[in-house]
Amino acid sequence: MAPVAAYRPAPGGRAARGGLAGAAASAVPPAALAVLAVAGTLLADPHTRPSRGIDAGGLVLVVAASLALVARRRWPVVTLAVVTSLVTAYLWLGYTYGPVLFPFVFAMYAVARHLPARVALPAGTVALAVLLSHIFVSEAALPGLAGLLPGSAWAAVPFAVGFAARTRADAERRAREQHVRHHVDAERLRLSREVHDVVGHGLAAINMQANVALRSVTRNPARVEEALKAISSSSGAALDELRAVLTRLGETDDPAPRQPRTGLRDIPALARRLEQTGMRVVVDGDGPEHVPPAVDLAAYRIAQEALTNALRHGRGDLAGVSIRHTATELSLTVTNPTGGDRAAAAATGSGLGVPGMRERAEAVGGRLVVSPGPSRYEVHAVLPLEAP
């Protein structure tokens, strides 16, 4: 990224006008404070007993201290130093006590609000010590402890308010960052789950067909060609589905047509692809006419993962998909016969498959039950057809 100094807008351009407008807007509160401080000083002077009556020099110090606040956000420490010096000089000269301290209050608040405590606290302490020095010089100041307490309050109160405002702003910023991190983590989990379902299913089918081709090289060459065609079909389908997933993840306002979202209507095609591996898949029933998109995708992914597990961990020759629905719920059941050690591997749920299916169901307000058995493995999901 180019440094800010490298950008020089043309004179009279939008950036120049915006900078002038911003500077003018930031100068309005200090100018208003200068007017109020001058008016307050003129009104208070006849009713107090200053050692020196207000004159042009005193009013200049009041106005200068107020206008110095223009830089309070950009240079808080410098602003506090300038304001403290002007206000202290005013008090040393014995002018009217009171309204002149308002610029000091705002400068002290700005230091505590815009700077970390390790910088603001020393700066505020030094400023307070300089300010209180007038007690020992000015005859108009209250002597001793009677002068220290109110003088300290002019610094302690705005510093505490500014520090509290900064603490609250920092807490809100951390909360926003935590919120963003939470959504980033959730998006990463969703991406990993999508990729796992798409790639895992495709690789399982390809692996099965590759094994069939290897076993048939010498015994049944014709079967090799069938297996290679199945591998080509499975890999192409997996690539198309992965491309659709990645396209949805990077969706913009591009009006170009995209592949329709995957859903229940794609389960028969999924079954036909799996049948190329030698596993017969019986699909019974279909979904309702209108299914919420999130539920539609979750149902397909659960069926896809359950059938992939049946191929990898079951007997690999048979599976059934049952789809039922009422007015409010969609019921999806995937069953397959089990056999041997591969069934035990599926039952443990130690990978991403079963937890991923359960998370998908719960994410749309549904539930999922996995029932492993010695001869039959069942995945049963109930998903709502209405917004949870």
CATH number, position 333: 3.30.565.10
Residue type, 63: V
Residues 230-289: tens digit of each pLDDT:
677 667 666 666 666 666 555 544 444 445 567 888 889 888 887 877 788 999 988 888
Query: And the tokens for 49?
Result: 């007993």
Residues 30-78: tens digit of each pLDDT:
888 888 878 877 887 666 666 677 788 888 998 998 888 888 888 999 9
Residue 322 DSSP label: E
Residue 47 lies in a domain: yes
CB atoms within 10 A of CB 235: 15
Could you give the CA distance from residue 179 to residue 324 in angstroms, rounded to a whole number? 38
Lowest mean pLDDT among 8-17, 99-108, 362-371: 8-17
The band of 23, judged by pLDDT with boundaries at 50, 70 and 90, is very low
Q: 6 versus 81: which is more confidently predicted?
A: 81
Residue 95 lies in a domain: yes
pLDDT confidence of residue 323: 92
Could you give the CA distance from residue 150 to residue 135 in angstroms, rounded to a whole number? 11
pLDDT confidence of residue 266: 87
Residue 171 lies in a domain: no
| Residues in the chain, overall count | 388
Q: Which of 96, 118, 141 is the last residue of a domain?
A: 141
Residue 187 lies in a domain: no
Taking residues 308-319, what's their average pLDDT?
A: 82
Residue 315 lies in a domain: yes
Could you give the CA distance from residue 364 to residue 347 in angstroms, rounded to a whole number? 24
Residue 247 lies in a domain: no
Residue 192 lies in a domain: no
Domain that holds residue 8: 4-141
Q: Which of 141, 170, 187 is the last residue of a domain?
A: 141
pLDDT confidence of residue 373: 79
Number of domains present in the structure of the chain: 2
**Is-contact 327 360, C-beta < 8 A?**
no
CB atoms within 10 A of CB 176: 10
pLDDT at 118 over 70: yes
pLDDT confidence of residue 290: 87
Q: Cα–Cα distances in Å, from 318 out to 144, 231, 279, 338?
A: 96, 19, 5, 10
**Is-contact 300 244, C-beta < 8 A?**
no
Could you give the CA distance from residue 105 to residue 120 in angstroms, rounded to a whole number? 14
Mean pLDDT for all residues in the chain: 77
pLDDT confidence of residue 86: 92
Query: Using only C-alpha atoms, what is the Rg of the chain?
Result: 38
Could you give the CA distance from residue 302 to residue 323 in angstroms, rounded to a whole number? 12
Residue 180 lies in a domain: no
DSSP string, 181-200: HHHHHHHHHHHHHHHHHHHH
pLDDT at 321 over 90: yes
Percent of the chain, pLDDT > 90? 17
Q: Where are the alpha helices (DSSP H) in 96-144?
A: 101-114, 117-132
Which among 261, 282, 286 is positioned nearest to 272, based on CA atoms? 282
Could you give the CA distance from residue 324 to residue 312 in angstroms, rounded to a whole number? 26
Residues 198-222: tens digit of each pLDDT:
666 666 667 666 766 676 667 777 6
Q: Which of 141, 176, 198 is the last residue of a domain?
A: 141
Pairing of strands 329-337, 367-372: unpaired
pLDDT confidence of residue 55: 82
